[in-house]
Amino acid sequence: MNLAILKQRPLLIASMFGAVLLFAQEPASVRVTGSVKQPTALTPEDLAKMPRSSVRAKMGDQEASYEGVWLHEILKRAGAPSGNDLRGKALATCVLVKAKDGYQVVFSLAELDPAFVDNEILLADTADGKPLAGDQGRFRLIAPKEQRSARSVRMVTEIEVLDLRK
């Protein structure tokens, strides 16, 4: 075998391994799509520029302090109806949150609006001061006031606003 090829092999293997890791990483943004005026993709840098909040929540048997942006703020930025505009036909709108692993949950648009209920839902990008990663995904929805954490979705990739009017 050519000596030059042998010397380059570790570099070649390392670059191939790096490409596999890059492909396997969590999405760098969460998309907001559907019945909104401004479909968008939000990166952690975008979320860092928005009004930040934090909540303590227990997921399984682990409790953490999650930080991120209230989901209603993200929906407002995308142009979903909110506040006084959330009435009439707009009340037949729901929000489908999708995860990388195929898990999906639904919220009515009204239950996400603080003008209707005191049930704020957080799109978190950090836990205990560290960026989310691994099996949490880069983004996690936190529903801290719900009795069960079934709608606290990990690995969030998309938030789709759906108009259900017929």
Q: Which CATH superfamily is domain 26-163 in?
A: Oxidoreductase, molybdopterin-binding domain (3.90.420.10)
Confidence (pLDDT) at 25 = 54
Confidence (pLDDT) at 134 = 92
pLDDT one-digit tens code per residue, 56-71: 998 878 899 999 999 9
Percentage of the chain lying above the pLDDT 90 cut: 66
**95 touches 107 (CB < 8 A):** yes
Higher pLDDT, 31 or 3: 31
Confidence (pLDDT) at 2 = 53
Confidence (pLDDT) at 128 = 96
Give the residue extent of every domain in the chain: 26-163
Mean pLDDT of 125-147: 93
Mean pLDDT of 73-96: 93
User: How many Å is the maximal CA-CA distance in the chain?
Assistant: 75
